[in-house]
Structure 1
Amino acid sequence: MNGTLVVSGDNVKLQCFSRIKLDVFFLSKEEEPWRTRKKGSKAQDNGQQTTFHLDHVTSTEAGTYRCYGAFENYSFVWSPPSNPLQLEVRGSYDKPSLSSMSGTVVASGHNVRLQCFSRIKFEAFILIREDAPQFTQRKSSTAQDNGQQTTFHLDHVTSIEAGTYRCYGALSEDPNVWSHPSEPLQLEVRGPAGGIVSPVNQVRLSLAGLVLLALVVVLAEACYSHKRSFPWLR
């Protein structure tokens, strides 16, 4: 299944699955319940499943989806609904701007303020972190300087908050239709020792540790071989 945030024009696959041997699945969009799709199921992984295709999605496809199952002879009796899947389509409006009021390199434990701004009258802004898709914040905007803006607060940051951030704008009438993303903002967090702890630097530190470990192993092997060659040196 594709992620819930997709780009306008993408092809999306929504997959329904059940351990019960249901014959058909129905895909329903909560905002438009009359546009229900029906599709037969196939046996898969000790259950039944089917895949619904949404090709070349636009803002029209954005919304909340659920699927239901039924037996062929009782197709009018549906199962309870699945958990909701929120499909959000981005790329319908011009991108906002994202800036840090605290700078892009901050000390661990400090508070960070990220500000999103647009000339378009978005009622809400959404902040995401590219390397942590589960991180999403949405806040209402306020009028400011012939546009709309909001400020996101990241309090007492640690290396966990280091990463690449972007923000999007959305209108209240279509909350699942997002703008193009802002330019990326790279946030780096200084650790207790003063070194920068960013995702890239974390990888470098890990590699340095592996190289050091390999060097220790080589030295230990060399010492062992040397003692075997010259036993009187023990």
Structure 2
Amino acid sequence: MPVVLPIVLYLGLHLAQSTQAQNGYLPPPVITAQPGSMVLNNKPVTILCQGPPEAAAYEIHTEEEPEPRAGRKLLVAGKTRTLYIQEMKPDRTGLYRCSYQSGGHWSSLSDSLHLVMMGSYDKPSLSSMSGTVVTSGNNVTLQCFSRIGFQAFILTKQDAPQFTKRQSSTAQDKGQQATFHMDRVTSTQAGTYRCYGAFSKDPYVWSHASDPLQLEVREAPSDPTPVEPKHPQATDHNQTQNHHGILIGFPVAIVLLLLLFLLLFFILRHRHRKAKNNATEAKRQPQEVEPMNGLASEARDPQDVTYFQVAFNAPTHGTASAPSLLPKPAQASEYATLMLR
């Protein structure tokens, strides 16, 4: 069974092509360029037209925009299906298409091959205004800029020849720039991007490629926490309460500030009065007078002075006997002045 299905498909396709050929319709061929459709200046390139094995002849030609039918230029005719270009020049750039002949009929034209020459001008710069690491579902904006007055910029993606975006430039910061928008990016849009500059008169003659920009797209969280939307009326009510709170709190703060200043004033006033009273009491205390040379100080009030009489008795030699009847000599007396405090 696995072998029968491909055989049936092949027979069906061959039968369909035979029927179309009998009716005068042949499927278009495929046109490619080796090693690629973007070729550096003076480098070789080969254009290949691929048709069915029964094709008897091929035609490869260029087309000039915007009217390709009227501007066809035949380059190859006959059994050969390749066109070899030894050195890439500006006059070899443009749109290429091909067709083949089978059973006396010519096929429809192939899709267009855009053959581009690179390296004619200095490279522009490529940057991401959204960052190089983004979450899946977000928008990305890439910006290409150059000091050269390019009239257009082209954005390409590595390993994706079908991805080619062309954007007209605008003046910016003494140069030219173009922005490329990608909405709601996914993991398929991650990769390496480059941009080129070109002029309108030679749309297929590009500058050197910009430095590569690596865009990384990460998957969004699988189960994000839902955020309950706020009701507009509730928001207005909260804002009104906050406004009233501010209006009430401002006067209260002023009153508290005034009370603080009054308290500080009374504390300073109390300290000043206390210091003044201490100074007055210190001035009222009597000054002490020190005695000089052990003599009594100057005469004071009799009530403040007390006199003491001190008697000195000298002992005599002899034996103890009855008291003498002789008169006793007068005894010397000294007085000392004492001051009571």
| TM-score bin (small chain) | 0.5 to 0.7
Structure 1 position 99 matched with structure 2 position 127: yes
Query: Please, which of 65, 75, 84 is the counterpart of residue 37 of structure 1?
Result: 75
Return the structure number with greater strand share: 1
Query: Please, which of 79, 84, 101 is the counterpart of residue 53 of structure 1?
Result: 84
| Shift in CA distance, 98/67, structure 1 to aligned 2, threshold 3 Å | same
Question: Within 2, Cα distance between the matches of 1:34 and 1:163?
Answer: 37
* Counterpart amino acid of residue 63 in structure 2: E
Matched residue, 2:41: 8
- Unaligned stretches of 5+ in structure 1? 42-48, 195-234
1:24 CA displacement: 4.2
Question: Within 2, Cα distance between the matches of 1:28 and 1:13?
Answer: 13
CA displacement 1:57-80 (0-9 Å, x = unmatched): 122211112235569xx9xx9765
* Counterpart amino acid of residue 37 in structure 1: L
Question: Within 2, Cα distance between the matches of 1:70 and 1:136?
Answer: 31
Report the more deviating stretch, 14-23 or 133-142.
Answer: 14-23
SS at match of 1:160: helix
Question: Within 2, Cα distance between the matches of 1:22 and 1:173?
Answer: 37
Contact between 2:59 and 2:81, CA under 8 Å: does it hold in 1? no
Matched residue, 2:148: 120
Question: Within 1, Cα distance between the matches of 2:60 and 2:137?
Answer: 46
| Shift in CA distance, 67/160, structure 1 to aligned 2, threshold 3 Å | closer
Please report the TM-score for the alignment, with normalisation by the length of structure 1.
Answer: 0.68
* Counterpart amino acid of residue 159 in structure 2: D
| Shift in CA distance, 165/82, structure 1 to aligned 2, threshold 3 Å | closer
Question: Within 2, Cα distance between the matches of 1:23 and 1:160?
Answer: 41
Query: Please, which of 108, 111, 135 is the counterpart of residue 136 of structure 2?
Result: 108
Question: Within 1, Cα distance between the matches of 2:97 and 2:216?
Answer: 39
Matched residue, 2:220: 192
Contact between 2:61 and 2:76, CA under 8 Å: does it hold in 1? no
Report the more deviating stretch, 12-21 or 108-117.
Answer: 12-21
1:193 CA displacement: 4.0
Question: Within 1, Cα distance between the matches of 2:73 and 2:198?
Answer: 24
Q: CA RMSD in A?
A: 2.7
Structure 1 position 161 matched with structure 2 position 161: no
Aligned length: 183
Looking at both structures, which has the greater relative contact order when contacts are Cα pairs under 8 Å and sequence separation is at least 6? 1
Question: Within 2, Cα distance between the matches of 1:159 and 1:179?
Answer: 29
Matched residue, 2:308: none
Question: Within 1, Cα distance between the matches of 2:217 and 2:185?
Answer: 7
Question: Within 2, Cα distance between the matches of 1:7 and 1:141?
Answer: 23
SS at match of 1:60: helix
Matched residue, 1:27: 60
Contact between 2:153 and 2:195, CA under 8 Å: does it hold in 1? yes
Contact between 1:59 and 1:92, CA under 8 Å: does it hold in 2? no
* Larger Rg over CA atoms: 2
Matched residue, 1:183: 211
Question: Within 1, Cα distance between the matches of 2:159 and 2:54?
Answer: 38
Please report the TM-score for the alignment, with normalisation by the length of structure 2.
Answer: 0.48
* Counterpart amino acid of residue 26 in structure 1: E
* Counterpart amino acid of residue 145 in structure 1: D
Matched residue, 1:152: 180
1:143 CA displacement: 0.9
